[in-house]
Structure 1
Amino acid sequence: MPRMARVVLPHTPHHVVQRGHNRQTVFVIAEDYEWYLEDLRELSGMLDIRVHAYCLMTNHVHLLVDPGEEVASMGCLMKALAARATRRRNRLERRSGTLWEGRYKSSPVQTDTYLLACTRYIELNPVRAGMVSNVGDHPWSSYQQRMGHETCWINTDPGYLSLAGSEMERRARYARFVAQGVPKNELSLMREAVQRGQLTGNHQFVDEVEKIIGRRIEQRRPGRPSSR
Structure 2
Amino acid sequence: MARLPRFSPTGLPALVLQRGNNRQPVFLGPDDYLHYLDCLRMAAREHDLAIHAYALRPNHVHLVATPRQADSLSLTMQAIGRRYARYFNRAAGRTGTLWDGRFRSAVFDPAAWMLPAMLYVEGNAVRAGEVTQPEADRWSSYRHHAGIEASPFVSDHSAYWALGNTPFERQSNYRSVAADGLSSSSLATLRSHAHSGWPLGDAAFLAQLERQGTRRVQPLPKGRPAGRSAGGADPEPSAA
Answer yes or no: same fold by TM over 0.5: yes
Q: Within 1, Cα distance between the matches of 2:214 and 2:88?
A: 42
Q: Within 2, Cα distance between the matches of 1:214 and 1:103?
A: 19
Mapping for residues 180-219 of structure 1, pairs under 5 Å: 180-213=180-213, 215-218=215-218
How far apart are 1:39 and its partner, in Å? 1.1
SS at match of 1:46: helix
Q: Which amino acid aligns with 2:91?
A: L
> Structure 1 vs Structure 2: percent identity of aligned residues?
34
Alignment check: 8 A CA contact 1:17 1:63 kept: yes
Root-mean-square deviation (CA, aligned residues, Å) is 1.4
SS at match of 1:120: helix
The residue aligned with 1:89 is 88
User: Kindly tell me: are residues 71 and 214 of structure 1, through their superposed partners in 2, closer, same or farther at Cα, counting changes over 3 Å?
Assistant: closer
Give deviations 1:123-162, integer Å, cap 9, x for gaps: 0011111111101100000111122322332111111111
Mapping for residues 22-171 of structure 1, pairs under 5 Å: 22-68=22-68, 70-153=69-152, 154-171=154-171
Alignment check: 8 A CA contact 2:15 2:107 kept: yes
Q: Within 2, Cα distance between the matches of 1:93 and 1:36?
A: 14
The residue aligned with 1:10 is 10
Which runs of at least 4 in structure 1 moved beyond 6 Å after TM superposition? none
How far apart are 1:93 and its partner, in Å? 2.7
Q: Which amino acid aligns with 1:160?
A: Y
How far apart are 1:215 and its partner, in Å? 4.6
Q: Within 2, Cα distance between the matches of 1:114 and 1:19?
A: 23
Q: Within 1, Cα distance between the matches of 2:128 and 2:213?
A: 36
Give deviations 1:172-198, integer Å, cap 9, x for gaps: 111110111111111111111121111
Alignment check: 8 A CA contact 1:121 1:182 kept: yes
Q: Within 2, Cα distance between the matches of 1:214 and 1:52?
A: 25
SS at match of 2:211: helix
Q: Normalising by structure 1, report the TM-score.
A: 0.92
Alignment check: 8 A CA contact 2:126 2:132 kept: yes
Gaps of 5+ in 1: 221-228
